[in-house]
Amino acid sequence: MAWRLKLVPTHTKIDFFRWQFLTFGVSVLASVVSIILVLTVGLNLGIDFKGGTTIRTESTTVVDVGAYREALAKLDLSDVTITEVNDPSFRADQHVAQIRIGPKEGEEAVTPESIAALEAALTQLDPAITFPAVESVGPKVSGELIWKALLSIAAASAGILVYVWMRFEWQFAVGCVAALIHDVIVTVGVFALFQLKFDLSIVAALLTILGYSVNDTVVIFDRLRENLAKYKSMPLREMMNLTANETLSRTIMTATTTFLSLLVLFIFGGDVIRGFVFAMLFGVVIGTYSTLYVAKNIVLFLGVDRGDKPKKSATPDEFAKVDA
């Protein structure tokens, strides 16, 4: 017999509802904390949403953030942020920094004169420095991008709600969308907690997380629907546990292979896509968790209409007075 790798035994009997109130409570707490972090600490908005100009520098000389800041302090610049960029894929003599500046008071965007002055000051400090990328976004455009990003996530969630409702029942749709919203909120909360840059690529990652998570959830719900017809007298809690165990191998295998692929991108893909890949990595983990512990819990709380269950056979007492 050919040897096959199994991440999960063929027949498992894990009780996913053993700590249902604890796991559901942790999910609710994580969502609330994430919202509080976003409202209080705020997101480290990238150039897409905040507006301004981001300049990427490269040099064979080691980046000295303090010297950069001192050189730019002589210029009349607004909201200067200097960040050294480290990446395993860089050459030994490749030193990269990212400088973000905002528009001055009363200006719509950073002027070309300000950018030229910045480049001249850094070139005087380090003649080997180059400026391979300059990105500028005005405040009007950034405001529109924020609104469109929110609309895209809301539209995707609404479309998923309708799809699951039409394919299954409304309880399944509510459980599925609640799990998706949980995934998005907690992921955004992590970005607020660690002050990771939040730009349009992260919005794309959030939309991808929605698609990944709903696919995983629908697979379990589809098996649950089959079991509802197969085991008509089995209590709903036992049936949902049976369904989760039957699909556990597929869930773990999908999550593991996706995670490993993303991990390679995170390590070797470069700093340009690192934020996107990190969001995806975290999304795979939280999406798998919410499928097993959030979506099913909500469906169990709401109950499922099992009106098509055949009526119980008549008892002897019901026919006691009927003539033979």
pLDDT value of position 163: 81
What mean pLDDT comes out for the span 100-123? 81
Q: What is the CA radius of gyration of the chain?
A: 27
pLDDT in tens, 39-68: 999 888 777 777 778 889 999 988 888 888
State what percent of residues in the chain have pLDDT above 90: 19
Q: Is the pLDDT of residue 306 over 70?
A: no
Query: For residue 95, what are the β-bridge partners?
Result: 59
**What's at 98, amino acid-wise?**
Q
pLDDT value of position 10: 66
- The kind and range of the H/E element at 113 are helix 112-125
Dihedrals phi, psi of 214, to nearest 5 degrees: -70, -35
pLDDT value of position 31: 94
pLDDT in tens, 258-303: 999 999 999 887 777 888 999 999 999 999 998 888 888 888 888 8
**What separation in angstroms does the CA of 248 have from each of 243, 259, 292, 317?**
8, 16, 9, 45
What mean pLDDT comes out for the span 138-159? 77
Which residue matches tokens 């391979």? 132
Which residue matches tokens 């301004």? 52
Q: Spell out the domains of the chain, with CATH numbers in brackets.
A: 20-44+141-302 (1.20.1640.10), 52-137 (3.30.70.260)
pLDDT in tens, 119-130: 998 998 889 899
